[in-house]
Amino acid sequence: MAGAADENPGPAHQAALPSGETTALLPAGEVPSIAPLARALAPPPAPRPAPVTARDTAPVTAIDAMRDEEIARTRLFIRMGWLLSLFGIGTVFVIDAPRALAILFVAGVVIGIIVSFGYHRAFADPRNYTRRALLTLAAICIANGHLAVLLYGTFSAAPILIVIGIHFVARTEAERIARGIFASAVVCYAAIAAAIASRAIADPGVFASDVPTSGAALAIGALFVLATFWLAYHTARQLRAASLAAIDDLQRTTRLASQRAALMDELLGDLERALRAGPGRHTDEVIGELRLGAVLGRGAMGEVYEAHHAVTGAPAAVKLLRPGLAGDPAQRARFARELAAGRAIASPHVVRILGGSAELAGGAPPFLAMERLHGGTLAELLRREPRLPADELRALARQIGAALDAAAAAGVVHRDVKPTNLFRSDDGGAGVGAGMWKILDFGVARIAAEPAPDERGVIGTPHYMAPEQALGQPAGPRADLHALGAIAYRCATGCHPYDAADTAALLYAIVHRMPARPGALAELPADLDRFSAIALAKSPDERFATGAALARARDTALAGALDPATRERADALIRRRPWEVRR
Ligand SMILES: Nc1ncnc2c1ncn2[C@@H]1O[C@H](COP(=O)(O)OP(=O)(O)O)[C@@H](O)[C@H]1O
Ligand SMILES: [Mg+2]
């Protein structure tokens, strides 16, 4: 029965989920297949780079996201270019430059301003951001940069303009253009510098130094400049690659998270539909003098029907085994156990058993009659809100703690305390106005007075199992208290103490790992971390001894007033096994 989906009876749930919410009787080593879910959750194949083309949707790949930023950067670069150009034109009137060169420079700069003005406007629509536009802009920038080099001096600060140009183009996605621009800048600059260093031409630059300089010194100067060109190009390409990788990573994680969320939504939708009350196979039948009505809920084993006494009309709830299970003696033994446990425990916080039969008597299926409860399970509450209000959780811990103490006194270990098996009855109970919490479903309970059931392997529901249960060892009352601790953790933080990709990994974590500190997941007092350290301690001896002690400690911890001895006990546990960080 590995992977029987307790809360997911519909065919849509045939793929056993690693939900950890399923009552498991796993023979050692048998792990439910998670292949269908894993496939659904697998990240999509890596996106192929998109060309510089039109796109009118929101960014979908890292390249798209980078392009939006790139267009904004290009427009800023153009505006800064205008400022520099105007400044350059102004300098021509002040400095003593060769006339022809000055005219050429001013002409180049003015053409640059006019052309770039057109592109600046055009780039407001990203579809106009094309490789051709980029190439034109870069070519103008490099040409004007070299005019500036000639005008101000090959060995002045003018090449910085080219460095900026190279860096800018190399940041874009047009790699070939960037390489071409880098190469032409190197060639142009090297040609000018070589001509001057070899005295083929005189340096026309206004900042050219009159100090006699050897050709070798000039060559070294030129090499420095060329090295900065290369640095500008290389660092820009590296930067781009790093940004792309970071954006890609972020997008992949976000996509995965939203896929998971969407999948969860679908699953929850399916679940709601599957669990919805409605007519069942036995509706209108009379079993043990009770006339069955609609289905109230379903679990891994049973279907619970609303019922009324055929004569007196008194309300009840009747649990029947799911189709195909009634013939199985092991399943009928469950009913026998539920009957025995229900009769043994005296607590208003355990669902009251009215009667039933574990036998196939004269064609009638085994059944269990219980008090009819109105309200809902903790699982339903948590599906609506991932965290439970503090007052509600306080009431739950007290009442379920008391019920577990009553069970322990009767020699019963429930072994499957979990949200679907905790019911908040809104009937008010004995004059109590608020909800009254009750434990349901003693189907896998161990009863000291009864012969031990024939079972091997792991019993319980992975997310709420104690380490000894995960190891397949006998579970005592403190295993149930561990489950209550895990439920309190989940209700306070919205997260399970342990989560893993599959059941085997989850069981391993329960035995060997530590959860995240509750205070790291929600705003909770430090004393509540200490409470959880004791409630979820690996060894039963280290845990709270009774449900009452657990509930009391939780109350004081929530007020930040845990007594010093309990604090010391928890701190020692945490020192020995520190909290882990949730990834
Ligand atoms: N006495 C009851 N009154 C109303 N609803 C009930 C009652 N007992 C069980 N249910 C509903 O039926 C569901 C399944 O019951 P449960 O006893 O846990 O079955 P299983 O043994 O199959 O897990 C519960 O989660 C709850 O929603
Ligand atoms: Mg159940």
Q: Check residues 182 and 254 and name the one with the higher pLDDT.
A: 182
User: Helices 131-152 and 62-94 meet at what angle, rounded to 10?
Assistant: 30
Encode pLDDT of 343-379 as tens digits.
Answer: 899 999 999 999 998 887 677 788 999 999 999 999 9
pLDDT value for 531: 98
Q: Is 287 helix (H, G, I), strand (E, B) or coil?
A: strand
Statement: residue 328 has pLDDT above 60: yes
What's the whole-number mean pLDDT along residues 269-298? 85
Highest mean pLDDT among 173-177, 261-265, 313-317, 361-365: 313-317
Which residues, in sequence order, are CB contacts of 570 under 8 Å at separation 6+?
529, 530, 531, 533, 534, 562
pLDDT band at 574 (very low <50, low <70, confident <90, very high): very high
Atom of ligand 1 nearest to the CA of 300: 22
Closest residue CA from atom 23 of ligand 1: 299
Q: What is the largest CA-CA distance in the chain?
A: 122
Region(s) of the chain under CATH 3.30.200.20: 286-370
Owner of token pair 């998971």: 260
What's the whole-number mean pLDDT along residues 122-135? 89
Statement: residue 285 has pLDDT above 70: yes
Least confident stretch, 12-21, 132-141, 246-255: 12-21
Statement: residue 534 has pLDDT above 60: yes
Q: Check residues 22 and 495 and name the one with the higher pLDDT.
A: 495
Q: What is the pTM of this model?
A: 0.62
CA-wise closest residue to 353 among 441, 422, 267? 441
pLDDT value for 457: 65
pLDDT value for 1: 34
pLDDT band at 503 (very low <50, low <70, confident <90, very high): confident
Q: Is 157 helix (H, G, I), strand (E, B) or coil?
A: coil
Statement: residue 18 has pLDDT above 70: no
Statement: residue 258 has pLDDT above 70: no
Separation of CA 441 and ligand 1 centre (Å): 7
User: How are beta strands 315-321 and 422-425 bridged, if at all?
Assistant: unpaired
For domain 375-576, give the CATH number. Answer: 1.10.510.10
Out of 275, 303, 304, 367, mutate this one to test ligand 1's pocket (max ligand atoms within 8 Å of CB): namely 304
Separation of CA 36 and ligand 2 centre (Å): 25
Least confident stretch, 329-333, 403-407, 490-494, 545-549: 329-333
Q: Which H or E run includes 296?
A: strand 290-298
Which bound ligand lies closest to the C-alpha atom of 293? 1
Statement: residue 326 has pLDDT above 90: no
Mean pLDDT, rounded, of the chain? 84
Contact between 201 and 161 under an 8 Å Cβ cutoff? The reply is no
Q: Residue 400 and residue 189: Cα distance in Å, rounded? A: 83
User: Helices 62-94 and 159-170 meet at what angle, rounded to 10?
Assistant: 170
Cα–Cα distances in angstroms (integers) from residue 214 to residues 54, 196, 197, 508, in the given order: 54, 11, 8, 75
b/e per residue 94-133 (b: at least 16 CB within 10 A): eeebeeebbeebbebbeebbebbeebbeebeebeebbeeb
DSSP string, 449-466: TSPPP---SEEE-GGG--
28 CB-contact burial (10 Å; exposed 0-12 / middle 13-18 / buried 19+)? exposed
Q: Which H or E run includes 544?
A: none
pLDDT value for 61: 66
Closest residue CA from atom 27 of ligand 1: 297
Encode pLDDT of 423-439 as tens digits.
Answer: 999 975 544 446 899 99
Region(s) of the chain under CATH 1.10.510.10: 375-576
Least confident stretch, 60-69, 95-104, 143-152: 60-69
Statement: residue 34 has pLDDT above 70: no
pLDDT value for 456: 63
Separation of CA 379 and ligand 1 centre (Å): 12
Q: Percentage of the chain surpassing pLDDT 70? A: 84
pLDDT value for 44: 42
Closest residue CA from atom 26 of ligand 1: 297
Closest residue CA from atom 3 of ligand 1: 373
Least confident stretch, 245-259, 310-324, 408-422, 448-462: 448-462
Separation of CA 319 and ligand 1 centre (Å): 7
What residues are labeled active site?
416
Encode pLDDT of 69-117 as tens digits.
Answer: 889 989 999 999 999 999 999 988 888 888 898 999 999 999 999 999 9
What's the whole-number mean pLDDT along residues 62-70? 78
Residues with CB under 6 A from ligand 1: 6, 296-302, 304, 317, 319, 351, 370-373, 377, 420-421, 440-441, 443
- CA neighbours within 13 Å on the CB side: how many for 318? 28
For domain 286-370, give the CATH number. Answer: 3.30.200.20
Encode pLDDT of 167-178 as tens digits.
Answer: 988 988 888 999
Q: Write phi, then psi, for 344 (nearest 5 degrees).
A: -75, -30
Statement: residue 205 has pLDDT above 70: yes
Contact between 436 and 403 under an 8 Å Cβ cutoff? The reply is no
451 CB-contact burial (10 Å; exposed 0-12 / middle 13-18 / buried 19+)? exposed
CA-wise closest residue to 348 among 473, 255, 437, 451? 437
pLDDT value for 15: 34
Which bound ligand lies closest to the C-alpha atom of 297? 1
Separation of CA 300 and ligand 2 centre (Å): 6
Encode pLDDT of 212-251 as tens digits.
Answer: 778 788 888 889 999 999 999 999 999 999 988 888 888 7
What's the whole-number mean pLDDT along residues 132-149? 90
CA-wise closest residue to 162 among 97, 90, 84? 84
The span from the first CA to the last CA of the chain, in angstroms, equals 32
pLDDT band at 453 (very low <50, low <70, confident <90, very high): low
- CA neighbours within 13 Å on the CB side: how many for 182? 25
